[in-house]
Amino acid sequence: MTDIDDTTHSATEIAAARERVAQPGSPGFDGVIGGSMAEFSSEYMTYIEDYLDADLKLVADRVLDMLRSMGELHQGFAVSQLDHVLQTATRAERDGASEDMIVASLCHDIGKTFSNMNHPAIAAEMLRPWVSDEAYWVVKYHQDFQGRHYYARIGMDPEMRRRHLGHEHYEMAERFADDWDQTAFDPNYPTEPLEHFEPLVRKVFARTPRRG
């Protein structure tokens, strides 16, 4: 598990944050602002930081919106990319995975909302401030592990995972790829809906994010 603090945001807090960060201009700041960052005063930077803190309350909503949009993404598979990640997360949860790994399972392909290219790294860096090192690492390298199941058929090395042998999260990455991710294309699997995972998504993305 993670040592990141768990907090929660109420619906009222989220609504207030949404209204606040959407305000145009700089309501409430009456000092000189300046036209470049180099000219911003420390008072103005403090004021901006306060807005960015409010903005963080909206991250869970953005994640849920991105996941919903994956319902339109089929890419030739029998299930949509939303169904695929829901099925991956459902399998993880039923297998007793940690909260971080369940959220990682739900979000591991969220980079595909931009493009399939580099999608593991895109997803991993999006998640990194809010999840354990293990969840981050598994998402970042999941394709290297997934390759065992199909890379041979597209002329790539199916054992690309070997480059990670000995890594502390290697076994979890194998479990993720072999038991949850690569099996999650079954249209007949009894998969939980997004609403089932929403409270956990809100809990994890309400944590105080870490930098770096």
Binding site for Fe ion (CB under 5 A): 109, 181
The amino acid at residue 70 is M
Taking the complex as a whole, how short is the minimal distance between the CB of residue 143 and Fe ion, in angstroms? Answer: 6
Taking the complex as a whole, how short is the minimal distance between the CB of residue 173 and Fe ion, in angstroms? Answer: 12
**Comparison of 153 and 211: residue with beta carbon closer to Fe ion:** 153
Taking the complex as a whole, how short is the minimal distance between the CB of residue 72 and Fe ion, in angstroms? Answer: 17
In the chain, beta strands by DSSP E: none
**Comparison of 57 and 120: residue with beta carbon closer to Fe ion:** 120
H or E element that contains 20? helix 11-21
Taking the complex as a whole, how short is the minimal distance between the CB of residue 212 and Fe ion, in angstroms? Answer: 24
Among candidates 32, 34, 28, which has minimal Cα distance to 47?
28
**Comparison of 119 and 207: residue with beta carbon closer to Fe ion:** 119
From CA 14, how far away is CA 63, in angstroms rounded? Answer: 14
With contact defined as beta carbons under 8 Å apart, do 138 and 176 qualify? yes
Taking the complex as a whole, how short is the minimal distance between the CB of residue 84 and Fe ion, in angstroms? Answer: 6
Taking the complex as a whole, how short is the minimal distance between the CB of residue 142 and Fe ion, in angstroms? Answer: 6
Helices and strands in the chain: count of H runs, count of E runs: 10, 0
Among candidates 120, 118, 122, 113, which has minimal Cα distance to 181?
120
Q: How many CA atoms lie within 13 A of 98 on its CB side?
A: 15
Among candidates 145, 146, 106, 147, which has minimal Cα distance to 126?
106
**Comparison of 9 and 112: residue with beta carbon closer to Fe ion:** 112
44 burial type by CB count under 10 A (0-12 exposed, 13-18 middle, 19+ buried): middle
**Comparison of 109 and 144: residue with beta carbon closer to Fe ion:** 109
**Comparison of 8 and 118: residue with beta carbon closer to Fe ion:** 118
